[in-house]
Structure 1
Amino acid sequence: MTSKVLYLAALLALPALVRAELQPLEDADLSRLSGQGGVYLSGEFSINKNGGVLWNTPSSNNPATWQANERSCAIAGAASPESCGLRIAIRSEANGGWYVLDNLKGIFSFEGLTLNTRLIDSGFGGDGAAFNQDVLALGLPNEVRFKNGSFAFGVANQGGWQNKAGGVANGGNPAYQQTDIFSAKVDGTIRMQGSVLIFPKN
């Protein structure tokens, strides 16, 4: 019997809750409120999992037989060609060479990437108090997972890749040079800690 009475009382109170309306807050009321803001991100993305769009995969692993729009990223001496991934090239000086992140591909997923603001008003050897501004805080993901990830880091005399073994007729450039410093294949999980602070510049 008691449960029926409570159930009936809850039903009678429901219309009163439904009729509730939003009321504006005065400045004095707002000043007593506090909150937190930010973004928490998780996701997965694939980079050139099946090869990039700039080059077709040739039928052989011999650079001398490739057409202008063909390239293989298989290791030297491999029996069959392999599609190539993303290429990023950065030139640090106007008349200098290029740093390249080449053949970047694979599946990358992360959990716990945060984005918010943080007030810097202390620390940094005393500079924080003088700075006294908000900065953008990028919290590193708790976990980053790699599946069939690969890349090569090297230096080159040009930003775009060219076929050194090819002739001018098929888009080659015998003067092209690239030296890979190291390459890596990554499968597994990396745990990360810390954050990156992005300071505004006037």
Structure 2
Amino acid sequence: MTSSRLCLALLALPLLARAELQPLDDRDLSEMHGQGGVYLSGEFSINKNGGVLWKNPLSNNPATWAVNERSCAGAGAATPESCGLRIAIRTESNGGWYVLDNLKGIFSFEGLTLNTRLINSGFGGDGAAFNQDVLALGLPNEVRFKGASHTFGVANQGGWRNRAGTVANGGDASYQQTNIFSAKVDGSIRMQGSVLVFPKN
């Protein structure tokens, strides 16, 4: 390209940058086609430095903890460890509780999609009768975990109680929790597929 052509091209750039958006009339708008949806990527952390409900005690001996202290260190650990988020679900009115305890860490994902999808076929013939839009959540291509941990267990109460503590410092000798498994995750998981959310009248 000669220098004169290069100068002309550079002079034309401001004119292109000043181009204005023009409104579309109804006829032009009706000829436009598009596809809706949202593509999400992000990172969030859950209590990676411990939760806000309990302070970190000075020792791992529950008998010495104050009402607002708790350690989530493993059995036999030399030093206390701060606790993460606790989620408790009661499946029956007079039943026990399923708990996801000490949930913390950093979670990141890329490629979570959110859009609508028309279901008018399939599903053993029920799709044609349904004939409505559903919300479609496309699973992310990859979910990454850094320092993530959780414990799954069952308990007789939703909130955590210190069995070894006295009533004066918030203890409850009747409290029982059985931890079924604990996990710590560092790495990534590849996912495929989608989740459909059907409306209900």
TM-score, length-scaled by structure 1: 0.91
Structure 1 CA distance, aligned partners of 2:55 and 2:14? 66
1:157-196 aligned within 5 A: 157-196=156-195
1:23 aligns with 23
Q: Which amino acid aligns with 1:176?
A: Y
Judging changes above 3 Å, is the alpha-carbon distance between structure 1 residues 2 and 57 closer, same or farther for their aligned structure 2 residues? closer
Provide, for residues 18-43 of structure 1, a one-character-per-residue CA deviation record: whole Å limited to 9, x for no partner.
465513322x4333321011111111
Structure 1's consecutive aligned runs of 4 or more residues displaced over 6 angstroms after TM superposition are none
Report the equivalent of 1:4.
4
1:60 has 2:59 as partner: yes
Aligned residue for 1:136? 135
CA distances 1:36-85 after superposition (whole Å, capped 9, x unpaired): 11111111111111110000011010111111100000111111111100
Query: Structure 1 175/200 Cα, relative in aligned 2: closer, same or farther at 3 Å?
Result: same
Letter in 2 for 1:124: F
SS in 2 for 1:93: coil
Q: Which residue of 2 aligns with 1:104?
A: 103
Amino acid at match of 1:200: P
The count of residues paired between Structure 1 and Structure 2 equals 201
CA RMSD of aligned residues (A): 2.2
- AA paired with 2:105? G
Unaligned runs of 5+ in 1: none
TM-score (norm 2): 0.91
CA deviation after TM superposition for structure 1 residue 7, in Å: 5.4
1:38 aligned partner, one-letter code: G
Distance between the aligned counterparts of 1:16 and 1:147, measured in 2?
A: 46
Paired with 1:188 and 1:154, the residues of 2 have a C-alpha distance of 24
Moved more, 31-40 or 67-76: 31-40
User: Cα 1:130–1:64, aligned 2, differ >3 Å: closer, same or farther?
Assistant: same
Task: Identify unmatched segments of 5+ residues in structure 2.
Answer: none
